[in-house]
Structure 1
Amino acid sequence: MSRRQAREVALQALFQLDYNEIDQTDAYDAVLSETPVLSDSAREYAKLLLDGTKAHLAEIDAWIAKNSTEWKVDRMPGVDRNITRIAVFELQFSEEKMVPNIIINEAVELAKKFGTDASARFVNGILGSMIK
């Protein structure tokens, strides 16, 4: 399973949900239709990330707001906000506990791929302050 691919699918679905009046399942299905071969376990993990992030969205945004002194969550770039949301879900709410540095590294890699030049530093700063 490629967890990175799963995170990419979840990120793209969350991004769609931020900017479109679309059902969560429709957003997930739309991203999957554009995604090259994805293992069943990666699909399941992407769904877990999407569902879990949406289910805990208010709590996740509160964690982000608490650790982001200069940005309000709704003013953050959509890609950065949703990458951070996924990582916070994995850090705080996922039943499977992983090493925080791995989660942060994966979030930074997503930010490099999908965000701006400043995204990786931004995401790393917020998540780094959370685990201290």
Structure 2
Amino acid sequence: MEEKLTRREVREGAFILLYQTMFGQPLGEIIEADEESLGLARNNETDAIVRGVMAHDEELTAYIAKYSTTRSVARISKVNLVLMKIAIYEMKYNDKVPGAAAINEAVELGKKYAYKQDCSFINGVLNSCLEEIENDRD
């Protein structure tokens, strides 16, 4: 039976998996290692976010590049990149998640995994992305 997870646990699991892929390790190996040792909370929702972010990586990175006015993408930490990609993916492709909730979750996970001062940067970039995404829907 599939494990029931909170939305935060789903996002955190996706974050951990996606972060590890940024170091060149194939997703399949990460999942296999996870099942053997990490005990990461994971379900179909987690996997859907991971697959979606990976499938739309270039588009998500372009949003970040467009709205990161103080740093180039190359200078943004991997932690911040992954958190923002997950939030942008959810804002653009998951109608069940309000944009403000996706941003809030990214900031909350940022408080746990990123530097505190990065949370306002994450919030600013994501709010700009949300504005464009919502305007495109209208």
Both structures adopt the same fold (TM-score exceeding 0.5): yes
Give 1 or 2 for the bigger CA radius of gyration. 2
Aligned residues: 126
Greater shift in the superposed pair: 68-77 or 47-56: 68-77
- Structure 2 residue runs of 5 or longer lacking an equivalent are 132-138
Cα distance in 2 for residues equivalent to 1:29 and 1:6: 18
SS in 1 for 2:43: helix
| Cα shift readout 1:93-127 (whole Å, capped 9, x = no counterpart) | 23x43211111111110000111121211111110
Cα distance in 2 for residues equivalent to 1:106 and 1:130: 15
Cα distance in 2 for residues equivalent to 1:31 and 1:118: 30
C-alpha spacing 1:31/1:116, structure 2 compared with 1 (3 Å)? farther
1:1-132 to 2 correspondence within 5 Å? Answer: 1-19=5-23, 21-31=24-34, 33-35=37-39, 38=41, 43-94=43-94, 96-132=95-131
SS in 2 for 1:98: coil
AA aligned to 1:66 is: K
| Cα shift readout 1:56-82 (whole Å, capped 9, x = no counterpart) | 000110111111112122220111110
Cα distance in 1 for residues equivalent to 2:87 and 2:33: 22
Indicate the RMSD between aligned Cα atoms, in angstroms.
Answer: 1.7
Extract structure 1 runs of 4+ deviating beyond 6 A: none
C-alpha contact 2:88 2:130 (8 A) present in aligned 1: no
TM-score by length of 2: 0.82
SS in 2 for 1:49: helix
Cα distance in 2 for residues equivalent to 1:30 and 1:125: 35
Cα distance in 2 for residues equivalent to 1:29 and 1:115: 26
- Structure 1 residue runs of 5 or longer lacking an equivalent are none
C-alpha spacing 1:29/1:43, structure 2 compared with 1 (3 Å)? farther
